[in-house]
């Protein structure tokens, strides 16, 4: 019970941070578009935009790491992993969290902290242009992001322990999924009939579910099922 | 252990560790950290006084200020907006109407729509699944060969990573230090030529052996 509440809290922190910083992509889009327009149409470039772009991108990239970990979205070469039972997956993960994850995250927090502190001390400014904008707040992102990923990593370790005890992965928070595109695209479709739309959505869900839990799909070959249904009908 | 042998051990361990299925980012980072720590170990210095820590911070900052990788989130964002715009089925319908007299019209339509999405989004995402949903069933219903039907969808789906703008080329450019514009120019011809070859193959197969792709009945041009 305590474990599940802890997992929920930490997941929510990661979700919140990831979703907040994900808005930077919108800012980045507008900054790039406006600057391209000014630079190439109006012939009036702004010098510090280059640094601003880097800051927006770098912050986005670093701060969404914890969210990705909470979503189990980090890339895995899972061609062996998917054939393991959840307990096997959890024990492998647990060992490697201690072997790889914790040392490198501690290193990142420690090293990034020193790096950012140095930058604050000298009030470092960007050297891309003559009067670049300050970069110390940008460098502070490194230890902060490291700490967030570390926190989520500890939650993942708890998750592994729960899985080792119960034999099933504890649930993650619900969120939008990439496969929701199918619903969006087919929801108001005029050319796909009701039944194949439903079959498609269910099939897509099954595929996504299998991918999310890193397991082999046993069934869910939707189209064959749909065709068999079609054949059964007179 | 000398530095070259340390590097070789790390390289072989990377392959093994990635195969195990742990997230690649943390595998690479952890191995780099451990081996860097050993390689930069100076006897007599404090344990926390190791040059690998400086390298971690500097490389992280280097990636954060990489102006080539900057375009990846922008491209992904664009692709998502295109995906969410719910255009695929209408587009499939209209392209199919345009090509309804061509042999194997559904397979040709699938390929063309996939190629267009390759131009538009540059990522292989849910659109391939969606094409499978929208195109596979009509094709099988019309009596297409299942090899042709599924082949057209999967082959078309992977065009997105080759036809510019593709995210794969951006990442390659950032890693290899090449010019993105040159890479795009280089990928332009192969991407479209591959699409063309797929089309030739489908059309040729359908003309030689019309049984694999029966013509749609005239009253049923819509999927």
Q: Mind listing the pLDDT tens digit for each residue in B71-85?
A: 888 888 887 787 777
Backbone angles phi, psi at B139, to 5 degrees: -65, -45
pLDDT at A50 over 80: yes
Residue B111 near residue B157, CB atoms below 8 Å:
no
Angle at the Cα of A58 (from B54 to B73), degrees rounded to 5? 140
- A103 in contact with B at a CB cutoff of 8 Å? yes
pLDDT, position B218: 62
Residue in chain A closest to B18 (alpha carbons) equals A77
Residue B195 near residue B115, CB atoms below 8 Å:
yes
Show Cβ contacts of residue B203 under 8 Å, excluding neighbours closer than 6 positions: B102, B103, B104, B108
Considering only CB atoms, B26 lies closest to which of A101, A115, A138, namely: A101
What's the whole-number mean pLDDT along residues A116-126? 91
pLDDT, position A206: 74
3-state secondary structure of A114: helix
* Token pair recorded at residue B178: 């090449």
CB-based burial, B123-139: b 16+ in 10 Å, e otherwise: bbbbbbbbbbbbbbbbb
Residue in chain B closest to A100 (alpha carbons) equals B30
Q: Residue A154 — very low, low, confident or very high, per pLDDT cuts 50/70/90?
A: very high
Show Cβ contacts of residue B195 under 8 Å, excluding neighbours closer than 6 positions: B111, B112, B115, B159, B163
- For chain A, what's the residue count? 234
Considering only CB atoms, A76 lies closest to which of B22, B53, B57, namely: B22
3-state secondary structure of B155: helix
Taking phi over 0 as left and psi of -120 to 50 as alpha, with beta for the rest, A215 belongs to beta
Residue in chain A closest to B33 (alpha carbons) equals A104
Measured distance CA(B64)–CA(A138) in Å, rounded: 9
pLDDT at A142 over 90: yes
* A residues 158-197 lying closer than 8 A (beta carbon) to B: 178-179, 181-182, 184-192, 196
pLDDT at B139 over 90: no
Which residue in A223, A229, A231, A233 has the most chain B C-beta atoms within 10 A of its own C-beta, making it the best mutation to test that interface?
A223
- B84 in contact with A at a CB cutoff of 8 Å? yes
Residue B113 near residue B131, CB atoms below 8 Å:
yes
* A residues 10-49 lying closer than 8 A (beta carbon) to B: 25, 28-29, 32
- For chain B, what's the residue count? 223
The rounded percent of chain A whose pLDDT value lies above 90 is 31
| Cβ-based contacts of A141 with chain B (< 8 Å) | 64
Considering only CB atoms, B30 lies closest to which of A99, A110, A227, namely: A99
pLDDT, position A221: 47
pLDDT digits (tens, 9 = 90+) for A77-117: 877 888 888 888 889 889 989 988 998 899 899 999 999 99
pLDDT, position B7: 87
pLDDT at A220 over 50: no
Measured distance CA(B50)–CA(A180) in Å, rounded: 47
Hey, are the CB atoms on A104 and B24 less than 8 Å from each other?
no
Measured distance CA(B220)–CA(A189) in Å, rounded: 17
Q: Looking at the complex, report in whole angstroms how far the Cα of residue A120 sits from the nearest Cα belonging to chain B.
A: 15
What's the whole-number mean pLDDT along residues B217-222? 58
* Token pair recorded at residue B196: 């063309």
Helical H segments across A83-179, by residue range = 86-96, 102-121, 136-166
| Cβ-based contacts of A32 with chain B (< 8 Å) | 74
pLDDT, position B17: 85
Show Cβ contacts of residue A46 under 8 Å, excluding neighbours closer than 6 positions: A35, A38, A39
DSSP category for residue A125: B
- The kind and range of the H/E element at B180 are helix B180-208
Q: Residue B34 — very low, low, confident or very high, per pLDDT cuts 50/70/90?
A: confident
Q: Looking at the complex, report in whole angstroms how far the Cα of residue B95 sits from the nearest Cα belonging to chain A.
A: 13
Residue in this structure with the two tokens 């005890």, named with its chain if needed = A165
Rg of chain A (C-alpha set): 23
pTM: 0.82
Stretch among A143-157, A195-209, B203-217 having the lowest mean pLDDT: A195-209
Q: Residue A38 — very low, low, confident or very high, per pLDDT cuts 50/70/90?
A: very high
pLDDT, position B164: 77
pLDDT, position B176: 87
What is chain B's mean pLDDT, rounded?
83
pLDDT at A147 over 60: yes
Report helix angle A180-187 to A194-212, nearest 10. 170
pLDDT at A45 over 80: yes
Hey, are the CB atoms on B33 and A61 less than 8 Å from each other?
no
Backbone angles phi, psi at A134, to 5 degrees: -65, 145
What's the whole-number mean pLDDT along residues B139-154? 85
Measured distance CA(A49)–CA(B180) in Å, rounded: 21
* Token pair recorded at residue B192: 């479209």
Q: Residue A56 — very low, low, confident or very high, per pLDDT cuts 50/70/90?
A: very high
Pick the more confident residue, A221 or A81: A81
Asked, as a colleague might, if the bond just before B38 is cis with ω within 30 of 0, I would say no
What's the whole-number mean pLDDT along residues A53-73? 90
Most confident of A21-30, A161-170, B2-11, B165-174: A21-30
| Cβ-based contacts of A59 with chain B (< 8 Å) | 64
**Total beta-carbon pairs less than 8 A apart between chain A and chain B:** 183
pLDDT at A57 over 90: yes
Residue B195 near residue B111, CB atoms below 8 Å:
yes
- B60 in contact with A at a CB cutoff of 8 Å? yes
Measured distance CA(B149)–CA(B147) in Å, rounded: 6
pLDDT, position A25: 92
pLDDT, position A222: 47
């Amino acid at each position: 019970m305590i474990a599940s509440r802890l997992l929920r809290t930490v997941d929510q922190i990661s979700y919140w941070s990831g979703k907040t910083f994900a808005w930077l992509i919108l800012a980045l889009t507008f900054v790039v578009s406006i600057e391209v327009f000014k630079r190439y149409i109006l012939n009036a470039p702004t010098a510090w935009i280059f640094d601003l772009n880097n800051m927006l991108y770098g912050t986005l990239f670093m701060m969404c790491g914890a969210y990705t970990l909470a979503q189990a979205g980090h890339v895995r070469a899972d061609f062996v992993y998917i054939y393991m039972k959840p307990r096997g997956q959890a024990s492998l993960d647990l060992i490697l969290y201690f072997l790889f994850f914790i040392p490198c995250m501690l290193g990142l927090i420690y090293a990034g902290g020193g790096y950012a502190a140095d930058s604050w001390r000298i009030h470092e400014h960007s050297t891309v242009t003559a009067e670049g904008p300050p970069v110390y707040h940008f460098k502070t992102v490194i230890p902060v992001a490291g700490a967030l990923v570390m926190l989520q990593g500890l939650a993942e370790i708890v998750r592994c322990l729960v899985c080792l005890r119960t034999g099933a992965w504890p649930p993650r928070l619900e969120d939008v999924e990439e496969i929701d595109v199918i619903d969006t695209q087919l929801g108001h479709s005029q050319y796909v009939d009701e039944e194949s739309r439903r079959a498609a959505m269910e099939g897509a869900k099954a595929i996504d579910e299998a991918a999310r839990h890193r397991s082999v799909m046993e069934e869910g070959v939707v189209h064959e099922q749909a065709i068999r249904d079609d054949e059964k009908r007179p | 252990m000398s530095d070259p042998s340390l590097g070789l051990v790390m390289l072989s361990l990377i392959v093994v560790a990635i195969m195990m299925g742990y997230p690649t980012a943390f595998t690479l980072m952890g191995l780099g950290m451990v081996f860097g720590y050993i390689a930069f170990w100076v006897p007599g210095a404090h344990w926390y006084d190791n040059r690998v820590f400086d390298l971690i911070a500097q490389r992280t900052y280097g990636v954060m200020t990489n102006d080539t990788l900057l375009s990846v989130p922008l491209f992904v964002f664009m692709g998502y907006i295109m995906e969410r715009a719910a255009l695929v089925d209408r587009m499939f319908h209209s392209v199919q109407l345009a090509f309804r007299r061509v042999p194997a019209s559904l397979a040709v339509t699938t390929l063309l729509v996939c190629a267009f999405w390759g131009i538009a989004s540059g990522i292989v995402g849910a659109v391939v699944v969606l094409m499978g949903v929208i195109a596979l069933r009509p094709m099988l219903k019309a009596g297409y060969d299942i090899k042709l039907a599924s082949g057209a969808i999967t082959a078309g789906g992977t065009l997105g990573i080759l036809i510019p703008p593709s995210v794969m080329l951006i990442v390659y450019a950032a890693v290899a230090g090449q010019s993105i514009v040159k890479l795009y120019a280089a990928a332009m011809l192969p991407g479209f030529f591959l699409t063309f070859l797929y089309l030739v193959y489908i059309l040729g197969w359908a003309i030689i052996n019309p049984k694999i792709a029966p013509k749609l009945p005239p009253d049923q041009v819509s999927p």
